[in-house]
Amino acid sequence: MDLRHLRNMLSVMEEGSLGKAAEKLHISQPALTKSIQRLEEQLGVKLFERKARGMESTSYAESLRAYAQSACVGMTQAVKEINALKNGTEGVITVAGPPMIASDLLPDVVVRLAAERPNLQLRIVSQNQELFTSLLAGEFTLVVAMLYNEMPKIGLTKRWLFDDRLVLVMRPGHPASKLKKIKPQDLLGYKWAFSDNDTWHRRRLELYFEQFGLGMPRASVESREPAILKSIIMKSDHVGVLAKIGVEREIAEGTLTAIEIDSPFMMRPIGIVRRENDMPSPAVNAFIRILEAVCRERGYAIAPS
């Protein structure tokens, strides 16, 4: 199967129009139409229906989408690897993760990997939104993140590393630090600083209170940036829920206190997510090996390789 036909199909799906897709691909519309027709002939199915608003993907095209993305991205990565070898370098890998992981776990891995493979170019991307869709689209080599149940089921493979958890965080000496056991009713009276809407942390906190028939406490401060929340909590009487992995240093230094909340909603499975059919390069394998070593040294009970 010609990869050009798959790329052309993906472009039509993204643009919803033969004309726009042809313009994006820098080919003529008749040439694009012929490419789609050849792919349909090879598969023996219809991939698009022509509608008034443009080209609508059939269920056959939707089922093929993830595999086509994986094949096209894989070939692009292979070409990059070959060019890197030709140029005397070890290639480029891009690792993405949410801010807490990108800033608190990955730097130790990057420093060791750079020392081991000085010719490797490594990019770290910190973001919360669309991590997995961007991975499927080829923007990242791999993702280190929470293993959401909502992540795409097709086209990705995940490997659990360890379980982190969300903890209640406050300054040392805060009245909440004297609590022996956390009860949700006890938490309603405090001043809160937590993530804004549409974040994993916020939703988990909502579910925790909902299971007891309670509404969320009112936030005095909202921010998507963990570093901002930590700084505010250190300097005030606010409490918040943050990932334990992201406050270990402050707890050890005595600038923050953390209490575990007994709830399955506070658990955070952390793992590596990659495209399903990608063959990992030596650089990727080295990154994973060093990541596992760093996790073990921190006392995280990681899964066996």
For the chain, the domains span 3-72, 75-162+269-297, 164-267
Q: Looking at residue 303, what DSSP letter applies?
A: P
Contact 142, 273 (CB under 8 A): yes
Contact 258, 269 (CB under 8 A): no
What sign results for the dihedral spanned by CA atoms 199, 201, 202, 207? positive
CATH 1.20.1630.10 fits 3-72, yes or no: no
pLDDT of residue 170: 95
From the number of C-beta atoms within 10 Å of its C-beta (0-12, 13-18, 19+), residue 6 rates as buried
pLDDT per position as a tens digit, 155-198: 889 999 999 999 999 999 999 998 878 889 889 989 999 887 77
Of the two residues 89 and 150, the one the predictor is more confident about is: 150
Fold that domain 164-267 belongs to in CATH: D-Maltodextrin-Binding Protein; domain 2 (3.40.190)
Determine phi and psi for 144, rounding to 5 degrees. Answer: -115, 115
| Structure tokens, 226 | 């963990």
Kindly indicate the confidence band of residue 88, based on its pLDDT and cuts at 50, 70 and 90: very low
Instruction: Using alpha carbons, select from 126, 88, 119, 122 the residue that is nearest to residue 105.
Output: 126
H helical segments located in the chain: 3-15, 18-25, 29-43, 59-86, 99-104, 106-116, 131-136, 184-187, 200-210, 226-234, 248-253, 282-297
Topology match between the domains 3-72 and 164-267: no
pLDDT per position as a tens digit, 16-55: 988 898 888 889 988 989 998 988 888 999 999 988 888 8
- CATH assignment of 75-162+269-297? 3.40.190.10
Cα distance between residue 145 and residue 130, in whole Å: 12
Contacts of 250 (CB under 8 A, 6+ apart): 230, 234, 256
| Structure tokens, 138 | 């080829």
Of the two residues 52 and 272, the one the predictor is more confident about is: 272
Task: Supply angle C-alpha 34, 40, 41, rounded to 5.
Answer: 90
| Structure tokens, 47 | 């991939």
pLDDT of residue 82: 66
